[in-house]
Amino acid sequence: MPTPVAPYVSVFLSASDIPDRDIEALKSNERYTNTILPNLLDERERLLQGKLATPGQSWIVCRSPNSKLSVDLMLGCIENPLGSYPIFIVTTQPFTALTNEFLYPRLTVMVEALLRLVPTSRVFSIFSPAPITQVFADVWHRHTAIEAYHDEPYYDATVSYCTKSNLTSQPEAKLPAGYSYELRPGVEKDIHGIAELCWNFSQHSDPFTLTLERAYEEANVLIRRKQVWVHAVNQPNGVQAIASIVAITRSSTSVSVITKVVTHPDWRRRGCAERLVRRVSRHLLSTKEAVMLYVGRDNDAAHVYSRVGFPGLDKESHVEGVDHWLELGFDRNKVSLGHW
């Protein structure tokens, strides 16, 4: 009986070294490679412009044994302005293909490669389609003896999408008489309101909480990169309040991802988040094929996104392409937390 051939891995320490065919492979499944692809495209563009590479980044590609040209899985060890991202893993395969038989040999060689690149303390969490996350956590534990918090995932989410055909029309505003609103990109004058909402969001995102100072840093980055929209309310007293924000921090050729939606407690149940998400989605869909959104599986706001046009968020229904993603954190006594 012939000896099974192990999957083949390629390790890249620079985005410019990743072959164009691998980038095209990620683009073929662009909706579901968005945790890695946008950063990879941005980093390649930086290098083309002669800028220095972002330190500490690496990528591992796993290919099928019978083809060194395919991309089954890609792992990204990526940095951001506020720290390190979790380990991200994306796939070009359909969700139904992510069986234990497919994943264990591939993730085993990927973990072995990752251990040669970074200290174990860098791997503070893993975020990917749920079957990948679960197998990675098991393989990582077998190689390092570092356990994941399976009973308390950092993020247990459903990924959904909105297209032009899904997007619904705007309902009437639910603001009191004498109030008006603006839905627009965030600008410098909004920094206090945006920072407050970034801080508020982080307080419910343990362990990735922010100090108020760090929340201002995040708000500044979002404004500078034109990655945040605001729902501003004009009040009768002349003061403008930032009721909601929507952040879009990952965009690639045909897909953008809404990565944060926050409403100030004073403005909840007035349709602000729904109004802003719909407006941002309409804006993005003028140039993109789809807008992606990750929603916590226990998040009551799921019905808001459903009304905008993101399908499959009803727990009783299943829509193709609306899948389960999972972030598991590793023993905090043995890792260095990043932020995202």
Q: Which two tokens stand for residue 255?
A: 């897909």
**Residue 4: its pLDDT value, please?**
53
Cα 302 to Cα 293: distance, rounded to the nearest angstrom: 10
- pTM score > 0.85 for this model? yes
Adjacent-strand bridge partners of 87 = 77, 126
**Residue 5: its pLDDT value, please?**
59
**DSSP conformational letter for 300:** T
**Residue 1: its pLDDT value, please?**
39
Find out whether 230 and 190 touch, Cβ atoms under 8 Å. yes
**Residue 36: its pLDDT value, please?**
98
Q: What is the DSSP string of 92-147?
A: SS-GGG--HHHHHHHHHHHHHHHHHHS-GGG--EEEEEHHHHHHHHHHHHHHH-PP
Q: What is the pLDDT along the chain (340 residues), one digit of tens a residue?
A: 344 557 889 999 999 999 999 999 999 999 999 999 999 999 999 999 999 999 999 999 999 887 767 899 999 999 998 899 999 999 999 999 999 999 999 999 999 999 999 999 999 999 999 999 999 999 999 999 999 999 899 999 999 999 999 999 977 767 788 899 999 999 999 999 999 999 999 999 999 999 999 999 999 999 999 999 999 999 999 999 999 999 999 999 999 999 999 999 999 999 999 999 999 999 999 999 999 999 999 898 899 999 999 999 977 678 888 999 999 999 999 999 999 9
How distant, in Å, are the alpha carbons of 8, 91, 185 from that of 190? 49, 38, 10
